Amino acid sequence: MAVSIKVAPQEEIEVPYFNPRSGPYLGRLMNTNKKEKLYIPLKVGEANHIFMLGRTGYGKTSTMKALAEAIWIYYHEVLHKEVMIIIFERKYDYSKYQRLKQFWQRRVQEMGIAEARKRHPFLAQYFEIQEKHPQLKHMLGFPGDFAMGLPNYILMDTYISKKPYPVDIFTWHGLKPRSYPTRRIVFRPTRNIYAIKLDNGPDTEVVEGKIHLKDISFEMLAKKFDIPQGTAYGRILRKYWKVYKIHDPDEILRLVQAQEPIRESTLESLRSILDEIKADPLYLKGKLTKTGQEHKPFTEYLTTDKINVIDFSDNSDLDLEEQRLIVYLLWKKLKVIAGKKRVDIWIFFDEIQDLTGTAGEASRHNLAWLAMEELYRKGRSLSVNVVAGTQYLYKLPMSLIMGATHIAVIGALASPKDLDILRVAIMDGDKLNIPIEHDSFEEFVKRKKKKGRGWFSFDREFTVKMYFRPNQSF
């Protein structure tokens, strides 16, 4: 007896890359008549790591920000479930402020101050504060690369085409300027927290992050406070800190005075160092309590209600070793969150090489590299995903590149060595034709206009040329 098998018509077969329910919106295809919208099909129970590569000025950071927005929308508005998004920000940008000010001045000229205030009340308040409060003016004007609490008004004036009628870049992608709820964590803030909030938009909350002293090794402490290990007070502090595991400066001083036969000069040197440690605003002292901001480590501020920005820009006074420790402590906390709450986590690292170091520096003694290795290895079972961006592939450990699920190239490559690596890392890499050098000034100018365009390799198997999604936030 013949069995008839029904085959769905071609148009009914759902291709995940074109299905908005399969994952976050990535952008639109190039070199096709339809220019279909592309979505990243997220795999359940697997890591969805993404590596982003691109030369400075071609939109790599903007594309990373746009992807974070798309992930927020996908989880909250399509899946209706929680997601934790964490972004490590490397710098703020005064030029962004200048462009925003020019936008506001154009709006005032075009529609008058009253209408401009009505349409953009935050911008009106922002620039008027600078005129009314000159003491704040010198602190303002430094929005972060991920100023996601403010809509990206500037792209409203960027057009895909002007004939037969104007079509701006947002309309072409089916988007509009939008802000996102953001919690920005700063460490040893270098300027007024209110100013940091103003610079990054009305949907921004700014909190001061701290590290508990129990998480600081004696070696890091000795380096930070220039403690000579050969001195008597250095040996005493090392014994109590490293051997006895006592990390409360007041408790150490009390025990030393009660138990140690110690010279007055040694005691004064020890007291001086302990006072410096106590005065440092980065550290939590004593035992952890459930109340009081001064007893709350930065990891307790992580939330699924807002996008979390770990501020490593000049808003925070941190050295590289402290930044790497923060990455490591974050990973320790995320293992607990992912295990208990069963929530998907996305971590964004812009210029990943600044934290992990280059191929020769990525040792097991580097806490950020140690965390990254575990993130890549254990991300699959914990639903923790990494989006990492860099200018150069050839300087990084190959495990970072080969561990990525997808690879994106935005604009142009900074080194011909990277093209050779991509042709090995991507199965269809032989067909890549990515610009590296410019043959003429005219070609350079032409390519600069291609900001936000590039290539995306799905599962490192199939690569397409595309227009990446623009960032809705500033």
Same domain for 316 and 421, yes or no, is yes
In a domain, residue 98? The reply is no
Neighbours of 98 (CB within 10 A): 11
In a domain, residue 145? The reply is no
Neighbours of 16 (CB within 10 A): 14
17 close to 75: Cβ distance less than 8 angstroms: no
Residue 27 backbone class (left: φ over 0; alpha: ψ -120 to 50; beta: rest): left
In a domain, residue 29? The reply is yes
pLDDT band at 443 (very low <50, low <70, confident <90, very high): low
Q: How far apart are CA 417 and CA 449, in angstroms?
A: 24
Q: What is the pLDDT of residues 290-326, one digit of tens each?
A: 554 456 899 999 999 999 999 999 999 999 999 999 9
Q: Domain boundary at 226, 252, 284, which?
A: 284
pLDDT band at 153 (very low <50, low <70, confident <90, very high): very high
In a domain, residue 101? The reply is no
Q: Domain boundary at 284, 317, 342, which?
A: 284
Q: What is the pLDDT of residues 345-371, one digit of tens each?
A: 999 999 998 898 887 777 778 999 999
- What's the mean pLDDT in 39-54? 90
Same domain for 74 and 33, yes or no, is yes
Same domain for 331 and 241, yes or no, is no
- CB hemisphere CA count around 349 (13 angstroms): 26
Q: What is the pLDDT of residues 163-215, one digit of tens each?
A: 778 888 999 999 999 999 999 999 999 999 999 999 999 999 999 999 999 99
**pLDDT at residue 134 greater than cutoff 90:** no
**SS3 track for 321-354:** HHHHHHHHHHHHHHHHHHHHHCCEEEEEECCCHH
Return mean pLDDT, the chain.
89
CA angle 271, 274, 275 (to 5 degrees): 85
Same domain for 360 and 251, yes or no, is no
Same domain for 263 and 311, yes or no, is no
Q: What is the pLDDT of residues 103-130, one digit of tens each?
A: 999 999 999 999 999 999 999 999 998 8
In a domain, residue 4? The reply is no
- CB hemisphere CA count around 290 (13 angstroms): 0
Predicted confidence at residue 270, as pLDDT, reads: 95
Count of domains in the chain?
2
- What's the mean pLDDT in 64-71? 98
Same domain for 272 and 342, yes or no, is no
Strand ranges across the sheet with 204-209 = 37-39, 25-29, 462-468, 453-458, 406-410, 50-54, 384-390, 344-349, 83-89, 307-311, 182-187, 204-209
Same domain for 277 and 339, yes or no, is no
Range of the domain at 351: 15-93+307-468
In a domain, residue 390? The reply is yes
Q: Domain boundary at 284, 317, 344, which?
A: 284
In a domain, residue 348? The reply is yes
Same domain for 361 and 245, yes or no, is no
Same domain for 254 and 349, yes or no, is no
Number of H helices, E strands in the chain: 16, 16
- List the CATH number of the domain containing 360: 3.40.50.300
Predicted confidence at residue 31, as pLDDT, reads: 77
Taking CA atoms, 446 is separated from 118, 157, 377, 439, 449, in Å, by 38, 19, 41, 11, 5
Q: How far apart are CA 465 and CA 457, in angstroms?
A: 9
In a domain, residue 108? The reply is no
Q: Copy the structure tokens of residue 194.
A: 């209110």
* Residue 466 phi, psi (nearest 5): -155, 165
Same domain for 317 and 464, yes or no, is yes
Taking CA atoms, 404 is separated from 20, 51, 165, 387, 460, in Å, by 22, 6, 41, 9, 8
Look at 149 and 394; give whichever has higher pLDDT: 149
Taking alpha carbons only, the member of 120, 74, 66 closest to residue 348 is 66
- Give the total residue count for the chain: 474
Same domain for 327 and 459, yes or no, is yes
Same domain for 262 and 334, yes or no, is no
Neighbours of 174 (CB within 10 A): 10
Q: How far apart are CA 69 and CA 140, in angstroms?
A: 25
Burial class (CB in 10 A: 0-12, 13-18, 19+), 312: buried
Burial class (CB in 10 A: 0-12, 13-18, 19+), 75: buried
83 close to 75: Cβ distance less than 8 angstroms: yes
